Amino acid sequence: MNIALIGYGKMGKEIEAIATSRDHTIGLRLDSANTIDNADLSNIDAAIDFSVPNSAVNNIKACLSVKLPIIVGTTGWMKNFEEVKDLCIHTQGALFYASNFSLGVNIMFNANEKLARLMNPHTSYNVSIEETHHTEKLDSPSGTAITLAEGLIKNLSSKSKWENKETSEDGSISIISHREGNVPGTHSVSYDSSVDNIELKHTAKGRAGFAIGAVVAAEWLPGKKGVFTMDDLLEN
């Protein structure tokens, strides 16, 4: 496949290494100085966007307008998700979005929902989420932490929203975000009672796990129409 990389930072470079090791070519590398607005997208089979929150929507629209399948890992643009989804369906395009492309985190998403169902009757436990990332991360909380919170809200009848701070408000889940060093991404969901603590935790050891998932999604998406995520990829 001939792949366009939209965003050529830490993730873009990691994806390039994985894609070339799987015999793909990189036909285009876009960044803040060389954006999609002036790019020639002909001869590209799929675009992979790991850029910045405020450019993702424009990048997706540009790819949909020329029927180029696009895989998006950029986080922090979810307020526009419904608009983008409608456009994808209307244009019969192909869009793949995941807040986290690592296999381990997607197993954690599944385990998080199962554990929440088990914990639902046990109201003596208070649930909270913590995430730690490197200091250059622009969005907070992480897209992964938001997906974990949504999994809790779906399965815990006592919870209906999340806040990106320590909160004891009824119905609210605390998401505590830390920004330090070069941490690629650590997430934990913790249930605390007066007698014990139960913790579900994922620690990324580097960025390769995210990059492999994004390249596998790029191999899977062409030829499909609609909006897809990791559940669709992992089930097939």
Ligand X SMILES: NC(=O)c1ccc[n+]([C@@H]2O[C@H](COP(=O)([O-])OP(=O)(O)OC[C@H]3O[C@@H](n4cnc5c(N)ncnc54)[C@H](O)[C@@H]3O)[C@@H](O)[C@H]2O)c1
Nearer to ligand X, 8 or 191 (CB): 8
User: Which is the catalytic residue, given 133, 159, 187, 202?
Assistant: 133
Sheet with 161-163, edge to edge strand ranges? 161-163, 172-179, 126-133, 186-192, 197-203
The verdict on whether 133 is a catalytic residue reads yes
Of 7, 93, 141, 151, which lies in the binding site for ligand X, with binding defined by CB under 6 A? 7
Of 28, 46, 52, 108, which lies in the binding site for ligand X, with binding defined by CB under 6 A? 52
Of 19, 24, 50, 188, which lies in the binding site for ligand X, with binding defined by CB under 6 A? 50
User: Which is the catalytic residue, given 10, 13, 85, 137?
Assistant: 137
Nearer to ligand X, 192 or 219 (CB): 219
The verdict on whether 67 is a catalytic residue reads no
**How many residues of this chain interact with ligand X, rule: CB under 6 A?**
28
Residues that bind ligand X (CB under 6 A): 6-12, 30-32, 35, 50-53, 55, 73-76, 98-101, 136-137, 139, 210
